[in-house]
């Protein structure tokens, strides 16, 4: 579960600048949940693409991964209004070049950027030896609607952020 949580936490690092930040980006539970719910289809797709060669033919991601992605994609629009400011927050509140450029992009372009980055970033971060455990975790979470899956992941991140040693570069804020 730590690898899965770490991978999902990495998902929140939606920009290289944010991933290398010295101080963690502070997201509220609601911001993290919305951002995760929005990004779950691309994250699952990235995991499925990376893991397909490492998984048996009867693995959940190989058999039902596309159906889960399709089910989650249908609901993405409702999460974007809250996910967008959280996404922009991960780019850095310092007004750096990346943050400034991204804030001026048309909404649809920003969504495409986020979607492409999430899928590519997640697929690059997965160690093939983790694929079987990720397949099991996604299978276990698959009956849940995206907001519940995202809420559970955000809660896990919140608990992990208080652990020693720290996991990832993000912390959830107290509301």
Q: What is the DSSP letter of 28?
A: -
Of the candidates 17, 57, 31, 45, the one whose C-alpha atom is nearest the C-alpha of residue 115 is 45
Could you tell me the pTM of the whole model? Answer: 0.77
Beta bridge partner(s), residue 170 = 25
Q: What's the CA gap between 24 and 16, in Å, rounded?
A: 13
Per-residue tens of pLDDT for the chain, all 175 residues: 445 445 444 444 433 334 444 466 788 888 999 999 999 999 999 999 999 999 999 999 999 999 999 999 999 999 999 999 888 888 775 556 766 788 888 999 999 999 998 999 999 999 999 999 999 999 999 999 999 999 999 888 888 777 766 555 556 665 5
SS3 of residue 24 by DSSP? coil
Return the ∠ at Cα 128 (arms to 86 and 141), rounded to 5°: 50
CB-count burial class (<10 Å; 0-12, 13-18, 19+) for 95: exposed
Alpha-carbon torsion 6, 9, 15, 16, what sign?
negative
Q: 């779950």: which residue's tokens?
A: 40
Residue 58 near residue 26 (C-beta atoms within 8 A)? no
């Amino acid at each position: 579960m730590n690898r899965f949580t770490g991978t999902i936490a990495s998902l929140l690092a939606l920009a290289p600048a944010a991933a290398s930040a010295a101080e963690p980006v502070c997201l509220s539970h609601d911001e993290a949940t919305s951002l995760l719910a929005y990004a779950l289809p691309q994250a699952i797709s990235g995991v499925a693409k990376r893991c397909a060669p490492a998984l048996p033919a009867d693995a959940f991601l190989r058999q039902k991964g596309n159906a889960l992605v399709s089910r989650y994609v249908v609901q993405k629009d409702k999460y974007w209004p809250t996910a967008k400011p959280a996404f922009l927050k991960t780019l850095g509140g310092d007004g750096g070049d990346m943050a400034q450029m991204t804030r001026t992009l048309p909404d649809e372009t920003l969504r495409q950027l986020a979607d492409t980055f999430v899928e590519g970033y997640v697929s690059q971060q997965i160690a093939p030896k983790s694929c079987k455990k990720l397949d099991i975790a996604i299978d276990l979470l698959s009956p849940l609607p995206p907001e519940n899956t995202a809420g559970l992941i955000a809660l896990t991140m919140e608990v992990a952020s208080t652990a020693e040693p720290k996991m990832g570069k993000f912390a959830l804020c107290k509301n």
